[in-house]
A and B are shown apart, each in its own frame.
Chain A
C-alpha cells in the first residue's frame, strides 16, 4: 500500500509538467514571439489572416528575446517552434548556432516589394522597423530637444534614462559624433563619459523605460519609437525627436524559419503573408512601426515620423543601420565598458 502511494506520487511528480504545458495541436504552425502587444498584434494581424487563407491554425510560444533563444538552443535539431521573431542582431546568434533554415526566396514572392534594408541574411528577413531616438516629456523639460548633441546640455543633468541592457545605440551615436562608427566605437568613449553625470537611471526592459517616462523619473530617454507612440496613445505627452544632427538608430525585427521544422512550407507562407502590402499596412497601424514593404499604406499622422521609412531615400537619410554582426560581437564588450565607465558611480 505504502509503495503504491509513493509510486503514485512519483508518477504525479513526473507528469505534472506535461499537464501544465498543453501540447500544440498537431497540424498547427508554432510561432515564437515576444509577449504583450507584440504577440497580440502578430496574432490578430498576421495569424488570423494566415489561418483564414490556409486553414492552418497558429499557436504561439511567448517569451523574452533570450529566453526563447535559450529554449531554441536546447531543442536544437528538433525545434519546439516553426517560425521565430527576434531582433536582427540576436538572429545572428541563432544563425551562428545553426538554428535557422535558409530561406527559400522562391516561396517568398512578397520580398520583391520589400526594402533592401529588410534583407538581413539568407536566413532572416525584416518584419518591421523602428528607431531608437531621443524622446522627452515637454511638460517636464522646458527647452526644446532637437538633436542628439542636446543630450550633453548641462540643463538635462539628472533627467536622462538610457538602456543598459543594450547600450549600442548611444555608443554608436557618440562614435558617429566623433567621426567613428560601431566598428571603431572607441572614438566616442571620451564623449560618452561626459554624459555620465546627466543620467538619472538605466533601464533593463521596455516596461521599465515606459514607467520611468510615466513617473517622470527619466523624462528624457534614448527610447524605442514604438514604445513612445504607445505612451502617446495612453495619453502621456511625449515628444519624439527627429534628430537634426545624426539619424535615429534603426532596429529591425525579423522572421526566420527554424532549422529542422516539419512545417517549413507553412512557415514560408506565414512570412510571405506578413510581408504583403495588406498585412504590412495593418502592422503599421497596430504597432506604429515602419513597414518593410515599400508599397504599404501608412496613415497620414505617421508619415515622416521617426522609425517610419517609406522610401529608399528615407531609409538612408533618417535611419542609421548598424552592422548586425559587429553589433552581436561587440555587445558583450560594450556592456562591460558601459557598466564600468558610465553606470558605475
Chain B
C-alpha cells in the first residue's frame, strides 16, 4: 500500500522543491541589467505591493468572482435541460455542444473572441475588446462547459419526484425551483463555483489576448515581471504573494460554501 503512494510522494516532493526554489528566488536582490542576484532582501515583496501590482490582484479577484457568478447563471439552465430533458436527441445535442469547446483549445477559442469582440464582425455599442467586459465574456465562455457538466451531474442526482410533489401541493414552477431544485443542487453549485473561481484566478491566455495589455491578471503580471523585465526575484515574490492570497481566498470561499451546503 505504501509503495502505491510512492509516485504521489515523488510528485509532491518535486512540487515542494519547486516551491522552495521559488521562495528563495523571491528573497534575492534584483540587479537590473544582470542575471546575477544579490543578497537576501525583502525588497521584492515591498516592490510588488506597488499600486499597479495590487490593482492586478484586485482585478483578478473581482473578475474571478464575476466570472463564477455569470458562469453559474448562464450554465444552470443548460445543465438543467441536459439533466431533465426526456429527449435523447436533445440531450445528445446539448452534450456535444457543451463538450465541443474542449476540442478547440483555449488559444483558438480566445482568438475567435478577438474577432467577435472587435468591431470587425459586430459593431458593439460600448467597447468590448481590450476591456474588462471583453475579458469577462471570454472567461465565462471558457468556464461554461465545466460548470455545465458539474451542474448537470448534480442535477441528475436530484430526484424529480421531489419537484413533482412540490408542484402537486400547489407550488408554482418558480417556487419549486427556489425551494426544491436550487437547494438540492447546491453541492454542484459549490463545487462548480469553487473550480471556476480557482482556475480563473490563474487565467492567462484570456486576459493576455482579450485584455490588449490593459487588463492584467495575476499570471500576466508574473509573466511580465519575469520574462519582459528580467526581474525573476520580483516575479517570484509576486507569485508567492498571489499563491498565499489564492489559498486564503479559497479557504474562505470553501468554508463559506461548506456552511451553506450543510
Measuring CB to CB, which residues of chain A are less than 8 angstroms from any residue of chain B? Answer: 2-3, 6, 9-10, 13, 64, 66-67, 69, 73, 92-94, 96-97, 164-166, 200-204, 208, 211, 215-217, 325, 328-333, 335-336, 339-340, 343-345
A330 to B33, CA, bound (A): 7
Q: Tell whether, in the assembled complex, residue A93 and residue B32 are in contact, meaning their CB atoms are under 8 Å apart.
A: no
Known contacts A10-B6, A93-B33, A164-B213; is-contact A332 B114 (Cβ 8 Å): no
Cβ–Cβ contact A332 & B129, under 8 A: no
Q: What is the CA–CA distance of A232 and B242 in the complex, to the nearest angstrom?
A: 42
- B6–A215 CB distance below 8 A: no
Stretch at the interface among B72-80, B93-101, B167-175, B224-232: B224-232
Q: Which of B220-259 contact A (CB under 8 A)?
A: 224, 226-231, 234
- Chain A neighbourhood of B6, CB < 8 A: 6, 10
Contacts of A164 in B (CB 8 A): 213, 224, 228
In the complex, the answer to whether B212 meets A66 with C-beta atoms within 8 Å is no
A204-B221 Cα distance, complex, nearest whole Å: 12
In order of increasing CB-CB distance, the 4 nearest A-B pairs are A202-B213, A329-B33, A201-B212, A332-B229
Do residues B213 and A329 form an inter-chain contact, with CB atoms below 8 A?
no
Contact with A215, one of B118, B214, B228 (Cβ below 8 angstroms): B118
CB within 8 Å for A339 and B52 given contacts A200-B130, A345-B214: yes
Please judge, given known A-B contacts A10-B7, A201-B212, whether A96 and B35 are in contact too, CB under 8 Å.
yes
Q: Known: A9-B7, A211-B114. Is A201-B227 also a contact (CB below 8 A)?
A: no
Q: A66-B230, A201-B214, A203-B213 are in contact. Are A93 and B130 (CB under 8 A)?
A: no
A217's nearest neighbour on chain B, judged by CB, is B118
Kindly list chain A residues whose C-beta atoms are within 8 Å of the C-beta of B114.
211, 215, 217
Q: Which residue from B33, B55, B129, B216 sits with its C-beta under 8 Å from A217?
A: B129
27 pairs, CB–CB < 8 Å, chain A vs chain B: A3-B3, A6-B6, A10-B6, A66-B227, A66-B228, A66-B230, A73-B35, A92-B33, A96-B35, A96-B36, A97-B35, A165-B227, A201-B214, A202-B213, A203-B213, A204-B213, A211-B111, A211-B114, A215-B114, A329-B33, A331-B33, A332-B230, A335-B224, A339-B52, A339-B216, A344-B52, A345-B214
Among B3, B33, B34, B213, contact of A201 (Cβ-Cβ < 8 Å):
B213
Task: Tell me whether B214 and A93 are in contact (CB under 8 A).
Answer: no
Chain A residues contacting B32 (CB-CB under 8 Å) are: 328-333
Proximity string of chain B (101-124) to chain A, C-beta cutoff 8 Å, 1 when within and 0 when not: 000000000010011001010000
Which residue among A66, A73, A166 has the maximum number of chain B CB atoms within 10 Å of its CB? A66
Contact partners of B130 in chain A: CB under 8 A:
200-201, 217
* CA gap between A216 and B229 in the complex, in Å: 28
